[in-house]
Structure 1
Amino acid sequence: MTTPQILATIFAAGAATVLTRALPFLVFPDGRETPRYVRYLGHALPGAIFGLLVVYCLKDVNLLSGSRGIPEAVGIVVAAVLYKRWHNMLISIFASTAVYMVLVNLVF
């Protein structure tokens, strides 16, 4: 990349970051009620994203070879149990990833 291309890329990335951070404050200023559909999205999207992560993680699992999906299944169970217990997606994702990585690298 040339220097102007590098500078343009840095500028574009910075502008996109600032825009995505400032846009909610511009569109939904204080004093106005948040629209119902935005509240719905705030409620529905975390579960949808979690489901998308599960599908993405399982797309290459082959039940006929290797560990037969056992580490993946254990990771899913750990994520589900932890999320049901604490309702915190970060804890369930990080813990289930750690369990999966330990199983893949040390057990299977």
Structure 2
Amino acid sequence: MTMTIWQGVVTILMAMLGTVLTRFLPFVLFPESKEPPRFITYLGTVLPYAMTGLLVVYSLKGVHPLTGNHGAPEAIAIVVIILLHLWKKNMLLSIAGGTAAYMLLVQLVFV
């Protein structure tokens, strides 16, 4: 089933509205001149670690250590991420390096 032109326009406008709202709403609700509520500050310190844990669990949910390559590419990529982060303390570099290492391992080594 294909969308009509009008449905496509409405879909794009709703995506734009959702993006704009999620980008600017925090600045409207919590201006720089006011102290944010303690609960929001707490979430700001806890959520990054919780989301990282969720991503790790999600990434490893399909790994079966007793079959196939025994999770070797995943384990090597995790070690690369940890080493990069200990070396440079840069989250973006750690994630990009780990992803690149995993993709190279899966595509070239553990075929």
Q: TM-score band, normalised by the shorter chain?
A: 0.7 to 0.9
Q: Aligned pair count?
A: 108
Number of the residue aligned with 2:64 = 62
Q: Which piece of structure 1 moves more, 29-38 or 93-102?
A: 29-38
1:100 is aligned, of 88, 93, 102, to 102
1:14-57 CA-partner distances (Å, limit 9, x unpaired)? 11111111101110123111222222222211111111111111
2:36 alignment counterpart: 34
Structure 1 residue ranges (4+ consecutive) displaced by more than 4 angstroms after TM superposition = none
Equivalent position amino acid for 1:33 in 2: E
The change in CA–CA distance for 1:82 and 1:36 in structure 2 (over 3 A counts) is farther
How does the TM-score come out when normalised to structure 2? Answer: 0.86
Q: Which runs of no fewer than 5 residues in structure 1 stay unpaired?
A: none
> TM-score normalised to the size of structure 1?
0.88
Structure 2 residue identity aligned to 1:17 = T
Hey, what does 2:22 align to over in structure 1? 20
Deviation at 1:81, TM superposition (A): 2.7
| Counterpart in the other structure of 1:80 | 82
Superposed CA RMSD in Å reads: 1.5
Identity %, equivalent residues: 54
